[in-house]
Structure 1
Amino acid sequence: MKFYFSTIFLLFFYIGNAQKQYPKNYFSSPLKIPIILSGTFGELRSNHFHSGIDIKTQGKQGIPIYAPANGYVSRIKVSQYGFGKAMYVKHPNGYTTVYAHLKKFAPNIQKYVKHIQYKKKNYQTGNLFPDSQKFPVTKGQLIGYTGDTGSSGGPHLHYEIRDTKTEHIINPLFFGMNPKDATPPTLQKLIAYPLNEQSRINNSSLKTTISFKKLSANNFISEQITASGVIGFGVSVFDRLDEALNKNGIYSLEMKVNGSRVYYHDVETFSFAESKYINLLIDYKHYKTYKKRVQKTHKVTANRLSLYEDLVNNGKITVENGLNYNVEIIAKDLKNNTTSIKIPIKGVASNLVYQQKDTTNYKIIAKNFQKFTLNNVTVAFPKNTFYNDCFLDFSMNNGVVKVHNQTVPLDKRYTLTFGTSFLNDKQKQQVYIANVTNPKYPRYTSTKKKIDKVYTTTKTLGKYTLLYDTVKPTINRYNFKDKQWISKNSTLKVKIKDKGSGIKNYTATIDGKWILMEFNHKKGILTYNFSDTKLVGSKHIFKIIVADNVGNKKTMTSTFFKK
């Protein structure tokens, strides 16, 4: 009977923790270089989980990308930000592979994209959906070249595998890619959280950083803590692969209390719709304050992530007076390299002290639509913008409005409106809304204008004000001079910049005909490739107009000679 029970237990344990079986040998590597990662799947990023893996490209661009399996190019998109130049290949086995931040596409695809760009007279193509016969690919066929376009932080290939039907993203390392990794995760910080008004940790009602020491290579033990009431924990932890120094994300996080699992999550797969709930998985206030991410081992009610398993009381621990508890938190990478920390807890009586709550005149009921006005400023919150009821910190000081606190995450955008009836027509043209939470670095916020008001929609709380942009953008020749022979040049480059509201758009012509200029926003450089069109004659007129976000425009005209 004992053997029978053990067998059944192990069977259920295995089934409950088994991953879906993915094809290991169907997809080959998209690159013919060693696979070294600078970013892992499910890493904690700003407002989202990383939806793929980032493959290092030896610090350079232009490495060929090959189709990992038969299929066809089902989607192409060229964007200034985000994925930059991106391509999607649909495969007959039910998966789609994604390639982002490309320098360029394979020649036949590149020709098609350029045609669309010239037809639209726009670098950004929007989503293109070629039919299945347009660009069929076979395994090992060249489909593009790695780059650094969009919001990339350096040359690499962002590679994804998605379930074609559901669009859920799946960890590509489950499909047979095998980067070297024998290095366990690194534990940086342990934090304990009182989770209600009666809870205490070391006689404090505030979250508390807990010190710890090493027991062995990958095992730690914290100081003993005293606690009462409902508490939770959080850890700051990262993982490194063997051949890179990048601080990557872990695969799974588990917590046990007295040997029994009460919390577990991993990043095998997730949907884009749930990615925003990362701000409830982490200690968002800690992140916004210190720019360090702490993963909580307890789940709040509003968190709808599907990553969790085996939750007991959502990972919250009820500590009773006179009892001792042994907590263990275990972090693993995908190769099962493990780091753990043990936390001894002594239950004590609570030292309850009355705490006065902070209140304001503006009460947020999360499930309701809310609208408040102060002087010339109105804020409007759709229902369920906030995850919890709260009192809104809404105030004005010298023209700066404070809309609560940037350390509070939101589920939806809210609308912030400034009345502008006191401005003259010129000021109304030049005004925009800026986020001045950090007053040294005001940030333009997408501003829409109506008669006597300007407004924006944003998910960011903090301080805002009206600023004015009276200065035109600047344009400087980068790789040529006016009236210069440039027959050896393969490109024409200019550098553009705007100090106020930022660049909105640009348009350029040679001899009166629109040309495609690719904008590297990280360097402020616009590039035209002479291979795009055939020039007639040797003398040519280049003209470019650059506009900022309030409509200030700068025009530069240059003459160049080229055979």
Structure 2
Amino acid sequence: MQNTYPTNYFGSPLDIPLILSGTFGELRPNHFHAGLDIKTQQREGLNVLASADGYISRIRIAHWGYGKALYITHSNGYTTVYGHLQKFSDRIEAYIRKQQYKNESFEIQAYPSASELPIKKGEIIALSGSTGGFMGPHLHFEIRDSSTEKTINPFLFGIQINDSKRPTINTLVGYSLSDDSQINQVNIPLQLTFKKLNNGDLQADKINAFGKIGFGVNAYDQLDNAINQNGLYSLELSVNGEKFHEFKASVLAFSEDKYINLLVDYERLDKMGQRIQKCFIEPSNKLNMYAASVNNGYLSIEDKKSYNVEIIAKDFSGNTQKLTVPIVGKNDTILVRKTETVTPYKINYTQFNQFSKNGVTVAFPKNTFYSDLWLDFDVVDSVVKVHSPNVPIHYNYTITFDVSKYSEEEKKQMYIASINKKGNKSYESTVKKDSIFYASTKKLGKFTLLSDKDAPNIQLHNFKKDQWITNHETLKVKIFDYKSGINSYRAEINGQWILMEYDVTTGVLTYDFKDLVFTDSKHELKVTVTDNVGNTNTLNATFFRKI
């Protein structure tokens, strides 16, 4: 298929050789990677350049996600996105500061008009950083269709990366896709063995199979000058020399992100931490990233017939890794079958489902699950079990607790918490209404009610009370909360709100003295922090600074 995207329009967003830590369409938790992650030499502060003429159409400052991000709309119908920025050019920074002080909020979202912040190609718009959570310094770069918001692989626009290495296939898994199908007399997912040939291709051991089957692989690509395991550009399956199925990372719609959990073997991912990408399409999978698919990638193996399956992993540069799987049709006795545990709670996934037990109710909107199942739902010793985290869900569901047995004072400090595999408890956004608490969650697993009676902790970080800090460029305070977590913070100097940037990875709030002009040398800092159940703590500190 001919590339219809302009290949000479967008320039590089950095003025260094581009080396990637992440490619477009990579398989991530609950989503596909929507752009390129470009390495910044393990440091922050590199110049970030506008890829083309345009105007800044969106600014988003957030504690998580892309952190500090800019969106530039271009006249050719595309928008470029720059994420995890450290700071902006003076002109853009002034615009953002004005919005932040107007709203008295570090986190903002703004949509400048075309005339407010025009940009020229190659203009320095920001410095690279690591804002947005627990990740190292890098630049996240996207190209989107301005009208649809779909993201498009930047490689299609001529952004070039050196890549002379063929992809790697680590693991091959066979799937029996009906009750009477089998691979080597097994009706459950089966890891298959293969060897490397002298020419570098891979050859699986011959398998006996019957009925509807499919395959999946764990595979990755490595670029030159990098050790990162990146995503594939395409994964193709052919049968007897004819293309049968192909996944291609060209265009991505954010509304389809969750279907990644049907593209991968989600149960294996949860149990083993390994992503197997399926070369077939599950019935509820509405992902539009398939360049071709005959019979949704389901192979129908007939008795006594022979088949030659080739799985080809390919990167954008055209390097390939081929794995051949010889199959002989054999309708043999099935020795290992799938089993399911019947419970009192049957999920009809196309309908609304609601169940209650011991004062706890779970309610699932229709199509929360991708197929019918027996729900494992129980309440034991105040711990609620809602099925298993190795089953994917598409929508949030609601878990409700009857808390009528608790006093009003007790309820003030209580909240719903999820419990992970390691036993760690995390706050779930809890809505309190009369005698019930409820939370909308995307997690399956264990939940309980907890109480948080402790106010958040606030500590001075780079100065002490009554200290002269004339030479300080910044003022820093550290905040943390061990239970329900921090909900909000507010900082003032001499009764006036100040902008403090919150680093969620360290818990440090930072104020830049450039923001305000002081007329006196004595100043009063006040920082108030509230946790997720309403406990509040306030720190007051005097400091001195020459005018």
Give the TM-score normalised by the residue count of structure 2: 0.97
Letter in 2 for 1:250: L
Deviations 1:279-305 (A, max 9, x none): 110111111112221100010111111
1:413–1:271 Cα change, 3 Å:
same
What is the rounded CA distance, in whole Å, between the counterparts of 1:250 and 1:355 in structure 2? 31
By how many angstroms is 1:491 displaced?
0.4
Aligned to 2:489: 506
**Residue 173 of structure 1 aligns with which residue?**
155
Matched, 1:255 2:263: no
Structure 1 position 430, deviation (Å): 1.2
Q: Distance in 1 between matches of 2:101 and 2:168?
A: 50
Which residue of structure 2 lines up, in the alignment, with residue 200 of structure 1?
A: 182
1:73 is displaced (CA, Å) by 0.8
1:546 to 519, 529, 535: 529
Distance 2:36 2:457 in 1: 37
1:282 matched to which residue of 2? 264
1:309: how far off? 2.5
Task: Choose which of 111, 130, 136 in structure 1 pairs with 2:94.
Answer: 111
* Partner Cα separation in structure 1 for residue 2 and residue 333 of structure 2: 45
1:330 aligns with 2:312: yes
1:153 aligns with 2:135: yes
Equivalent position to 2:164, from 182, 194, 202: 182
* 2:430 equivalent in structure 1: 447
Please say if residues 387 and 411 of structure 1, whose CA atoms lie closer than 8 Å, have aligned partners that are also in contact.
yes
Give the whole-Å Cα distance in 2 for the aligned partners of 1:488 and 1:115: 25
For 1:368, the equivalent position in structure 2 comes to 351
1:52 corresponds to which residue? 35
Which residue of the other structure, out of 440, 459, 462, is the alignment partner of 1:457? 440
Residues 1:347 and 2:334 are matched in the alignment: no
Aligned to 1:268: 250
Say yes or no: does 1:243 pair with 2:212: no
Which residue in the other structure is 1:61 paired with? 44
CA displacement at 1:109 relative to structure 2: 1.2
The 4+ residue runs of structure 1 with deviation greater than 3 A are 352-357
Q: State the distance in 2 between where 1:505 and 1:118 align.
A: 16
Instruction: Tell whether the 8 Å contact from 1:100 to 1:157 is kept in structure 2 after alignment.
Output: yes
CA–CA separation in structure 1 for the residues paired with 2:181 and 2:370: 21
Alignment partner of 1:409 out of 392, 402, 411 = 392
Structure 1 stretches lacking a partner, 5+ long? 1-17
Query: Cα distance, 1:152 vs. partner?
Result: 5.5
The alignment yields a C-alpha RMSD, in angstroms, of 1.4
State the alpha-carbon separation in 1 of the partners of residues 235 and 200 from structure 2: 15
Deviation of residue 44 (structure 1)? Answer: 0.5
Which secondary structure does the structure 1 equivalent of 2:291 belong to? coil
Tell me whether 33-42 or 321-330 shows the greater mean CA deviation: 321-330
Distance verdict in 2 for CA 1:552–1:206, change over 3 Å: same
1:229–1:350 Cα contact (<8 Å) kept: no
Give SS of 2:197's match. strand
Match of 1:467 among 418, 439, 450: 450
What amino acid does structure 1 have at the position aligned with 2:472? N
**Aligned with 1:236: secondary structure?**
strand
1:523 & 1:59 partners in 2: Cα distance?
18
Distance in 2 separating the partners of 1:183 and 1:88: 33
- Partner residue, 2:543: 560
Aligned partner (choices 279, 295, 315) of residue 297 of structure 1: 279
- C-alpha contact (below 8 Å) 1:401/1:463 kept by paired residues: yes
Q: Does the C-alpha gap of structure 1 residues 357 and 544 become closer, same or farther in structure 2, counting only changes over 3 Å?
A: closer
> For residues 352 and 142 of structure 1, do their structure 2 counterparts lie closer, same or farther at Cα, with a shift above 3 Å needed?
closer
Query: What CA distance in whole angstroms lies between the structure 2 residues aligned with 1:554 and 1:198?
Result: 63
The residue type equivalent to 1:35 in the other structure is: L
Q: Is the 8 A contact 1:419 1:452 kept in 2?
A: yes
Range with bigger deviation, 448-457 or 347-356: 347-356
Gaps of 5+ in 2: none
